């Protein structure tokens, strides 16, 4: 092989290795955690901090007690997928705010633990 051909080969080989490395990085990079640790809901009534992981690990609640659709084999975790923002257009399915209020406050009252008053959840109520 002539020297300039050898150099070309080396360059091509280098590019192939680089492409392989890039591909491995995209394919093998660690997954984002499936279950959020905590979430901050922002809105006109004041921010609400929700300790998502603590609710699962320490308050003895399983995924489907909130993501109730999982029972039907549905993998969707976002309430808005079915509960439309604000007041509902559809009488059969509550709007998102009502659905979240009903679930959070409903469980707190049922378990006799956790906040039920506006200001206990909403940090800066108006």
Q: Which stretch binds ligand HEC (CB under 6 A): 6-14, 23-31, 42-50?
A: 42-50
Interaction of residue 95 with ligand HEC, rule CB under 6 A? no
In the complex, minimum distance from the CB of residue 11 to ligand HEC, in angstroms, rounded to a whole number:
44
Q: Is 56 in the site for ligand HEC (CB under 6 A)?
A: yes
Query: b/e for 45-74, b at 16 or more Cβ within 10 A?
Result: beebeeeeeebeeeeeeeeeebeeeeeeee
Which residue, 13 or 87, is less far from ligand HEC as judged by CB? 87
Q: Where are the alpha helices (DSSP H) in the chain?
A: 3-28, 52-57, 63-66, 96-111, 118-121
Residues 6+ apart with CB under 8 A from 52: 35, 36, 37, 38, 39
Map tokens 């959020």 to a residue. Answer: 36
Q: Does 48 bind ligand HEC (CB under 6 A)?
A: yes
Question: Is there a binding annotation on residue 68?
Answer: yes
Helix (H, G, I), strand (E, B) or coil at 54: helix
Q: Which residues are annotated as a binding site?
A: 52, 55, 63, 66-68, 79, 82-83, 104, 107-108, 118, 121-122
Binding stretches for ligand HEC (CB under 6 A):
34-36, 39, 41, 43-45, 48, 50-52, 54-56, 59, 61, 63, 65-69, 74, 76-83, 92-94, 96-97, 99-105, 107-108, 111, 113-118, 120-122
């Amino acid at each position: 092989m002539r020297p300039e051909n050898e150099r070309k080969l080396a360059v091509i080989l280098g590019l192939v290795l680089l492409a392989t490395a890039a591909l491995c990085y995209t394919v093998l990079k660690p997954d984002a955690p499936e279950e959020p640790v905590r979430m901050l809901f922002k809105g006109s009534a004041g921010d609400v901090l929700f300790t998502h992981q603590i609710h699962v690990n320490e308050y003895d609640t399983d995924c489907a007690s909130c993501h109730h659709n999982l029972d039907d084999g549905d993998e969707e975790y976002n309430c808005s997928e079915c509960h439309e923002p604000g007041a509902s257009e559809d009488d059969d399915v509550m709007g998102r705010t009502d659905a979240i209020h009903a679930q959070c406050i409903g469980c707190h009252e049922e378990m006799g633990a956790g906040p039920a008053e506006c200001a206990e959840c909403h940090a800066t109520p108006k």
